[in-house]
Structure 1
Amino acid sequence: MKIRCPKCAWEPDGGEHWQCHCGHIWNTFETIGRCPACHHQHEYTQCVPHAGGCDKHSPHLDWYEGLDKIVEELIEEVFTTEEVLQQP
């Protein structure tokens, strides 16, 4: 799965570019948008212009390219397992 800005396709470099309202700075993708200091869950993530991005905000989950496919596969696996368990 790739992580990149849904607006400009910039890919984070692993740096600590995001700052929470509590002042903590970290790599938001290490925690799926949850601040490790105050535990606030950020629904939106801003692209980082000083690191090559576009400065736009997008829903955090939209940054995970391929997430829809992973969810579909997990759902299919659950239904397949249920069918197997229900067989006599």
Structure 2
Amino acid sequence: MSEIKICCPKCKWEPDGGEYWQCDCGHIWDTFKTIARCPKCHKQHEYTSCVPAAGGCPSSSPHLDWYEGLDQIIEDLKEEVLESQEVFI
């Protein structure tokens, strides 16, 4: 199975585990530990901003786009499911 790499889809900056992201409720956390769900108010964030102060760029992208290799993992899983269904036919 493929590996997932987390990086900004625009500049390829890789998060270092720092708590850079702030929710509307004021909570600051590492958004990649919770797949963009605020651990305080549980809001699910659709977009994630890059962090210029930590070496990134000033852009924002859909959170799932930060997971490089995710598309391949999904394709691999779909293929496994289809192959397992063929066994039962």
In structure 2, C-alpha distance between the alignment counterparts of 1:55 and 1:41, rounded to whole Å: 21
What is the TM-score normalised by the length of structure 1? 0.94
- After TM superposition, which residue ranges in structure 1, 4 or more long, deviate above 3 angstroms? none
Larger radius of gyration: 1
In structure 2, C-alpha distance between the alignment counterparts of 1:82 and 1:12, rounded to whole Å: 39
In structure 1, C-alpha distance between the alignment counterparts of 2:21 and 2:82, rounded to whole Å: 38
Q: Which residue of 1 aligns with 2:22?
A: 19
| Structure 2 residue 8 is the aligned partner of structure 1 residue 5 | yes
Q: How many residues align?
A: 86
| Structure 2 residue 75 is the aligned partner of structure 1 residue 72 | yes
RMSD: 0.7
Q: Which residue of 2 aligns with 1:56?
A: 59
Structure 2 residue runs of 5 or longer lacking an equivalent are none
SS in 1 for 2:84: helix
**AA at the equivalent of 1:43:** E
**Which of 76, 82, 86 is equivalent to 1:83?**
86
What is the TM-score normalised by the length of structure 2? 0.93
Percent identity, aligned pairs only, is: 71
Instruction: Give a deviation string over 1:34-68, Cα, whole Å, max 9, x none.
Output: 11111111000000011111020000000000000
In structure 2, C-alpha distance between the alignment counterparts of 1:25 and 1:50, rounded to whole Å: 15
Deviation at 1:85, TM superposition (A): 2.1
